[in-house]
Chain A
Amino acid sequence: MTMTKIEAIIQTSKLEEVKSALQQIGVEGMTVVEVRGHGRQKGHAEFYRGREYTVDLIPKIKLETVLPENMVDLTIQTIIETAATGQIGDGKIFLSKVADAIRIRNQDRGVNAL
């Protein structure tokens, strides 16, 4: 079976919800990174001692998980359901093919390593 990497960039306030929901549907492994970025969402202004700074790289959470093909659709559905608020800034999901996966402990390969 092929493996797919799901990279989901979501609002920082949605992390707990998304993580719980994914664990409930059986996603057993994930990596979470704090990132900054923007799509179409505008930044905001901050000021220090009278000088204005435009902050247009907004803090987000990137959640990565590599899954066997047959889990991808359910996972995407779950993420969308829990992470969406309907406003600009909800984030994006990217999918990519993974060439291989190896478990370091015992050198399992492929889907067995997930």
Chain B
Amino acid sequence: MPTKNSNLLYAAHKKLTAKVFMNKGWLKLCLLLLLLSPAFAHAATDVDTRLQALETATKSAQSAGDNAWMLTCAALVLLMTGPGLALFYGGLVRKKNVLGTMMQSFAMMAVITVLWGLISFSFSFAPGNSLIGGLQNAFLHGVGAAPDPDYSSTIPSQTFMIYQLMFAIITPALISGAFAERMKFSAMTVFMILWSIVVYSPMAHMVWGKGGLLNAALGGSFPTLDFAGGTVVHITSGVSALVCALYLGKRVGYPKEPMPPHSVVLSFIGACLLWVGWFGFNAGSALAASSLATSAFVATHFAAATAAIGWAGAEWVRHGKPSTLGAISGSVAGLVAITPAAGFVTPMSALVIGLMAGVVCYLMVAFVKARFGYDDSLDAFGVHGAGGTLGALLTGVFASSAVNPIFKDGQGNALPSGLLEGNAHQLLNQCVGIGIAWAIAIVGTLVILKIVDVTVGLRVSEEHEVQGLDVSQHGEDGYYWEATA
């Protein structure tokens, strides 16, 4: 039954609610908030969505820029082999061997491509152990549009694969300079397939592959600074070249018979194509269209320039005239030497590296080769082996964390990279990388040479050598300027 208190409560309640409902402002505010609440929720997700869309668009744009650059670089590096190297080497041999020499480069474009797609990309870049990759990417399984973040988070892994393929093509082609004018085409093809698997893939894996022993970017035990392949490409091919030259022996008539280049013009064109293509080789090794790519591009160009001056200058001093062949050979030597250093050094350092390479490689070719008497026909060891070794050492000297902070401490601060910056230890690591490159090249090449010699036979017969490779190996004449109409 209603009490006095409950009556009072009821009355107060009535008064309050009357007040609230009578106060129209308050009422309006409540109603407004109620009506707008979905709009508030909508506005909050609206900004989120737009932010997300913006982030995706930015990533897309960066990927597009990086991918466009990297595909271009892949094309540039292929150009280095065909026709760059083909012309450079082709012009240096005697007329009767021009096609045979060019075929040795071209065959790599065809054969190594297939090998890479089937198996050697996997051996180079799939995860495995510290020496070699596994078979996860055999037949390019798993290599598609999605990036592999260990290598590059902005480009498709297929772009990475095709870019690296061009390196795998040119490296064995370089070796052909040592056994020019006397190797059987069949034997060379077999040799190169085996070499690519036994020497190139392990070296590429160790320096650039995930888990690689020498990988500076991914925490290898002996981090070797090799931006674009001073050890992987030039030391391995150059040293293998020396082994081949020694194993195969000298050309018939060497060194008494004069064997000057049949066309320095072709070599000139080839060398210029190599210089331009090398921008893809070095600057592309940044794996992005970044300021690091720019830095590598500039260093590459500067080294080529001073190296040409260095070699030509040395000739000017010794012979009284700078030769065209000397100048272009010098530029190639500089490009070789800057290859490991390109993304680690300043432009001024690049000038020094180039100049040293030009002079040192000239001395290797003009003096050391004559002194020891080996027939490294086109100076593959003198330029690539020696230039690559010099470049790898100088990388340890000139590498600068201001250019590329490759080594970081626990807090992410950059550590000194090279000797001049205060990191003397890196030179030791460089020596480990260089040593391994030399060792794998020597041992691998010797074993393969022996196998191929015993099965196929390495060297052409003396009759075929005198006749020339064009006719004996390919049934062709490079310049059939017919006598008949």
Contact = CB atoms under 8 A, between A and B. Distances in A.
Contacts, number: 29
Contacts of A86: none
B260 A53 contact: yes
A47 B264 CA distance: 12
- For the residues of A in contact with B, the DSSP-based class is strand
B373 to A, nearest CB: 12
B255 to A, nearest CB: 8
Contacts of A52: 319
Contacts of A47: 315, 319, 323
Contacts of A73: none
A47 B370 CA distance: 14
Nearest to B382: A49
Size class of the A contact interface (CB-based, 8 Å): under 10
A51 B326 CA distance: 11
Contacts of A26: none
A46 interface: yes
Interface stretch (B100-108, B291-299, B361-369, B446-454): B361-369
A46 B260 CA distance: 9
A18 to B, nearest CB: 25
Nearest to A50: B366
A94 interface: no
B261 interface: yes
Nearest to B368: A50
Interface string B235-279: 000000000000000000001001011001000000000000000
B215 interface: no
A48 B369 CA distance: 13
B289 interface: no
B379 A49 contact: yes
Contacts of B300: none
Contacts of A48: 260-261, 264, 323, 325
Contacts of B315: 47, 50
Interface string A16-51: 000000000000000000000000000000111111
Contacts of A53: 258, 260
Contacts of A49: 325-326, 329, 365-366, 379
A49 B369 CA distance: 11
Interface in B352-404: 362, 365-367, 369-370, 379
Among A47, A49, A51, A53: residue with most chain B CB under 10 A: A49
A46 B367 CA distance: 17
A36 to B, nearest CB: 14
Contacts of B260: 46, 48, 53
Interface in B312-330: 315, 318-319, 323, 325-326, 329
Closest 7 CB pairs of A and B: A50-B366, A53-B258, A48-B260, A49-B365, A50-B365, A47-B319, A53-B260
Interface of A: 46-53
Interface of B: 255, 258, 260-261, 264, 315, 318-319, 323, 325-326, 329, 362, 365-367, 369-370, 379
Given A49-B365, A50-B366, A50-B367, 18 more contacts: A46-B260, A47-B315, A47-B319, A48-B260, A48-B264, A48-B323, A49-B325, A49-B329, A49-B366, A49-B379, A50-B318, A50-B362, A50-B369, A51-B255, A51-B366, A51-B370, A52-B319, A53-B258
5 contacts: A47-B315, A47-B323, A48-B260, A48-B323, A49-B326
